[in-house]
Amino acid sequence: MTTMSTDILAAIRADASSSVERDPRWNRILRRDRTADGLFWYSVITTGIYCRPSCPSRRPRAENACIHGTVDEARATGARPCRRCDPDGALAENGHNGRVMRACRMIEASETPPTLDVLAQKAGLSPTYFQRVFKRITGLSPRQYGEACRAERLRGVLRSAATVTEAIYTAGYNSSSRFYEKADSLLGMKPGALRGGAPAERLRFAIGQCSLGAILVASGERGIVAILMGDDPDRLARDLQDRFPNAELVGADPDYEDHVAQVVGLVETPAVGLGLPLDIRGTAFQQRVWNALRAIPAGQTATYTDIARAIGYPESVRAVANACGANALAVAIPCHRVLRRDGTLSGYRWGVARKKALLEREKDA
């Protein structure tokens, strides 16, 4: 029986190493790219284990690594799962994200939101467990997500429909009376007012000064709708008017200045918090992003990638950044706590200098 020479073995290893290094997935493994978890796995010949791409263990030499498109392929090599990164857990997590995203698409495409039982059956999970997983990933229950989708459709058809009732049924509501019971909470105003461009909506506002410049606070019946910051008070007032072109804006209200003082207190001393109600208006996706932002504690930060993963859309980093840019409630919804992936400051609607100052203030607090 003959054995291969050292030179032949070295050549085989060099070829295997070159093959792995040419695979674009190898660079994601070297970077410990968390967004690749659940998309592929790698095994290590010398240790006999398989891992997820983000595994914190020391990277293997390319000649000792094999990349697998499925976890079954990794198991077929005889390797065992890594205890540090739990690669089977990555598969389960990715599978849940996929199930929830498919459920979201199903809800969005349905005129009448599917029942929890139907959604759970499609996902292959029990209703109770599916509900828990759906809310953990999206921040909303399936029912809340369905209501947000229908409300968004209603906003789109209200102005073109012949009547409000026609718009209600076109958007997928089965009963106009039951819709009207929830209209204010779903739309932020009466549907008739929204159909006419919200001329009946009355917003109180006032402009004050803080250490970061001018600050405008505006509220409707349900709470604060806008907190805007800048250098020019007149420009802030025009910004508010552009955001609510048909609303009745009521300024110079002495009683309302207390609201501004409380918001200024939040800017100057983040630890005090804000005890005023917010009227948060946005699409279902934006609201998921903004809920995730509000979960970031003062003094801590997250990346856009972190937020995208937290809401179950790891590939939607750009959409997350757009949602941050659309935030009209500065400081109260802390989009200033989101950084680039490398930890550097990114753009901020109210100026990067203000973002830096807010972060330093919260860090010191």
Rounded CA separation 156/195 (Å): 10
Q: Which two tokens mark 61?
A: 């030499």
Rounded CA separation 183/196 (Å): 15
Which of 66, 104, 324, 335 does the annotation list as catalytic? 335
> Is 51 one of the catalytic residues?
yes
Q: Nearest to residue 103, comparing CAs of 129, 73, 83?
A: 129
Q: Are 279 and 315 in contact (CB under 8 A)?
A: no
Backbone dihedral region for residue 25 (phi beyond 0: left; psi -120 to 50: alpha; all else: beta): alpha
Binding residues: 51, 55, 82, 85
Which of 51, 66, 149, 324 does the annotation list as catalytic? 51
The sign of the dihedral angle between the CA atoms of 318, 320, 326, 329 is negative
Tell me which H or E stretch contains 177.
Answer: helix 176-187
Count H helices, E strands: the chain? 16, 10
Binding residues for Zn(2+): 51, 55, 82, 85
> Is 66 one of the catalytic residues?
no
The label of the residue with tokens 């990277």 reads 59
- Identity of the residue numbered 348: Y
Rounded CA separation 119/127 (Å): 8
Residues noted as catalytic: 51, 335
